[in-house]
Every structure is written in C-alpha cells, then in structure tokens.
Amino acid sequence: MKVPNHIAIILDGNGRWAKAKGMPRGYGHVKGCANLESICDDIKDLGVKYLTVYAFSTENWKRSREEVEGLMKLFRSYLKKCIRSAEKNKMRVKVIGDITAFDSDIQEKIRYLEDFSKDYKELFFQIALNYGSRDEIVRGVRRLAQDAVDGRLKPEDIDEKVFESYLDTAGIPDPDLLIRTSGEQRLSNYLLWQLAYTEFYFTDVAWPDFHKPDLIKAIEKYNERDRRYGGVKEE
C-alpha cells in the first residue's frame, strides 16, 4: 500500500456525535480532541510524514459563547498535552491561521509548543486554528504587496512558488489526500490553494469514531485512484 506523504483532515461531526448520545456538544469536542491524539500516533505508525487538521475555522467564532469558551478551554489543555505527544512521536507542530485573535496565554502556548518541537523531523503536524483559506490568502497578499512596495519583490518575479512562500503553509508540501468526516462534502474554506491536485475522501463516520481502520480504508481508496495531474496515466 502506497502511503500518502501528506494527509489533511477536516475534523467534523463532534456535535452531532454527542447529540446522538444525548450529550452536550462540548462532550463531542472532548472526545474529538482525544481522538486527535490517537490519530497522530496512527499516522506516525503508518509512515505518513505530514498531517494537517482543521480544528477551528474563522467561522467557528459564530458558535454559541458557551461552545467557543469550551473549545478555548480544550485548546489550552491540548496545547500542553501536545508537548508530550510531540516528544513521543518526534513531531514538529505548527499552527496555521491567524492566532492573534486568541487570548495571549493561548498564543504563548502555541509559540512554546512550536519552539519546543521545531527540530523534530519524524512527523510534521499542522493544526489549523482560526484558519480560513481566504483569510490566509489575503494575509499573504498583504505581506507580498508590502514587499513589492518596499522594493524587495518585483511584480515580474511573482510566480506560484513565490506566492506559496507567503502562505501559512510555506515549505510544507501540498496534501495528497483530504479526508472529511461526518458526511458533509465541501471544503469549508480549507486549504483552497493547497488542495488543487489532492484526492478527496468523504466518510459518514463522525470524527470521534474515526480510528485507525477508517484511516487505512481511506488510504486504500486513495491507492485505487489514478493520480494523473493532467498528464498521461501510467499503465
């Protein structure tokens, strides 16, 4: 089985999963968070080098105050626990998205975790927090325009590679496989530039129930597909 180099996951369905069990949505997020820890171990076991997960979008602030506060609490405890997970898996952790919107203690925890794990090379784990692809592109274009105004960049030198270097994912290869759990089949403003050639896999399994066998099934499906990139298919 050919293992994708980079898997991106939209972690969806925590709320519905909890509701189906007669529990509050926050319970689904707690279980979803625990599942994220075990999926990191599984990804490492399978030999995948890059994992990028969508944990909180720029739209998610519109949820109830109670739910947003619950998620912030969860991020605080997760960012601390993730230090151990980074150490165990020799995993570099990077947060993508605009973190300036978070309370300063959360921003500090993010910076600490990124700095602590910066030299690990076994697994590269990106967590999208307050992330939206359009926002990422606009933030990148602002910096690019400033560099042009300041004379550091000539318009004729801008190509795909240069543009990519202004994205939050600079230096990270594009995902080979995108997985979205819990039945929805849309991108929800996730990695719009980076997913240009990516294979998509949608499953009805809710995120808290998505475990190693489901991951293997997704990778098997990925193996069945032709990856032509507009060229000639290999026989």
Contacts with ligand FPP by CB under 6 A lie at 11-16, 29, 32-33, 36, 55-56, 60, 74-75, 78, 127, 207
Residue nearest to ligand FPP (CB): 15
Strand partners, 178: 8, 200
Nearer to ligand FPP, 36 or 205 (CB): 36
**Which tokens hold the place of 132?**
């939206």
Active-site position among 5, 41, 42, 60: 60
Residue 90 Cβ vs ligand FPP, minimum distance, rounded to whole Å: 19
Nearer to ligand FPP, 16 or 221 (CB): 16
Number of H helices, E strands in the chain: 7, 6
Nearer to ligand FPP, 166 or 207 (CB): 207
CA distances from 123 to 172, 178, 217 (A): 12, 17, 21
Q: Which amino acid is at 206?
A: A
Residue 189 annotated to the active site: no
Active-site position among 12, 35, 168, 176: 12
Residue 158 Cβ vs ligand FPP, minimum distance, rounded to whole Å: 33
The continuous run of DSSP H or E covering 95 comes out as: strand 91-96
Residue 89 annotated to the active site: no
Nearer to ligand FPP, 88 or 225 (CB): 88
Give long-range contacts, CB 8 A cutoff, 24+ apart: 189-193: 189/57, 189/58, 189/59, 189/132, 189/133, 189/134, 190/8, 190/10, 190/54, 190/57, 190/128, 190/131, 190/133, 191/8, 191/52, 191/133, 192/133, 192/134, 192/137, 193/133, 193/137, 193/164, 193/167
Residue 206 Cβ vs ligand FPP, minimum distance, rounded to whole Å: 7
Residue 57 Cβ vs ligand FPP, minimum distance, rounded to whole Å: 7
Which residues participate in catalysis according to the annotation? 12, 60
